[in-house]
């Protein structure tokens, strides 16, 4: 085979590979969100807590919720079965979360607030441990649940996106550590 032809084929294979690679990246421009909701990590986390919270009987703005996430975003609760010790988890798309948990949040009333945060950022990615308290009514004295949301964020060209929310509720075996209860 002619050496020039060999080099040409080799270069074309590399170009084809690069085109396939770039085509496989998800588009970060597909989601439409209120710019104030996604302008910073603080803003997007406030929007996330706000959109799931509300009194009993109040519809949530699920389109707003969807706009916070990348199209392939996931929500994943985890827990440990007290009877057998097995660790379990669920993986929901944003729509599956809405379909599964949305009605309960709207029926029972649900207010979740961030009480502390630990964050790490490198380049366009950020990991946030967001400690939360949950109440049925905004003015309930004591929360019915607490835990940690492990939230992965992605910084796009002109906004932030939630990639995933992976959480675990506090329990007797795993009380919230002091280092996740104070400060940011």
Confidence of residue 80 (pLDDT cuts 50, 70, 90): confident
Residue 80 DSSP SS3: strand
Whether 10 maps to a domain, the answer reads no
Q: Would you say 144 and 110 are in contact if contact means Cβ atoms under 8 Å apart?
A: no
pTM: 0.82
Across 92-135, the runs of DSSP E, i.e. the strands, are 92-93, 111-122, 125-135
Q: What Cα–Cα distance (Å) separates residue 64 from each residue in 42, 61, 105? A: 16, 5, 16
pLDDT of residue 81: 82
Q: What is the CATH number of the domain that holds 109?
A: 3.10.450.50
Confidence of residue 103 (pLDDT cuts 50, 70, 90): very high
Q: Would you say 129 and 118 are in contact if contact means Cβ atoms under 8 Å apart?
A: yes
How far does CA 174 lie from the centroid of its chain? 22
Q: Would you say 84 and 74 are in contact if contact means Cβ atoms under 8 Å apart?
A: no
**Cβ contacts of 30 within 8 Å, gap of 6 or more:** 71
**Which single residue is written with the structure tokens 């509300």?**
54
Whether 152 maps to a domain, the answer reads yes
**CA gap 121, 1 in Å, rounded:** 51
pLDDT (tens digit per residue) in 133-146: 999 999 999 999 99
Of 86 and 18, the structure prediction assigns the larger pLDDT to: 86
Whether 13 maps to a domain, the answer reads no
Whether 95 maps to a domain, the answer reads yes
Whether 28 maps to a domain, the answer reads no
Whether 61 maps to a domain, the answer reads yes
Tell me, letter by letter, the H, E, C secondary structure of 42-79: HHHHHHHHHHHCECCCCCCCHHHHHHHEEEEEEEEEEE
Number of domains in the chain: 1
The neighbour count for residue 90, using CB atoms within 10 Å, is 13
Range of the domain at 138: 34-180
């Amino acid at each position: 085979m002619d050496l020039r032809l060999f080099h040409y084929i080799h270069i074309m294979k590399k170009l084809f590979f690069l085109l396939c690679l770039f085509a496989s990246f998800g588009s970060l421009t597909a989601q439409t969100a209120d710019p104030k909701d996604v302008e910073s990590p603080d803003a997007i986390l406030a929007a996330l807590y706000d959109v799931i919270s509300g009194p009993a009987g109040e519809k949530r703005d699920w389109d707003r919720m969807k706009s916070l996430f990348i199209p392939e975003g996931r929500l994943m609760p985890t827990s440990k079965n007290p009877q057998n010790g097995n660790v379990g988890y669920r993986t929901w798309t944003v729509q599956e979360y809405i379909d599964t948990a949305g009605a309960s949040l709207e029926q029972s009333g649900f207010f979740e607030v961030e009480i502390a945060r630990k964050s790490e950022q490198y380049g366009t990615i950020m990991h946030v441990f967001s400690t939360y308290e949950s109440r049925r009514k905004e003015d309930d004295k004591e929360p019915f649940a607490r835990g940690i949301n492990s939230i992965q964020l992605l910084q796009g060209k002109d906004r932030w996106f939630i990639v995933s929310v992976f959480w675990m509720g506090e329990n007797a075996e795993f009380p919230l550590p002091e280092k996740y209860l104070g400060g940011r």
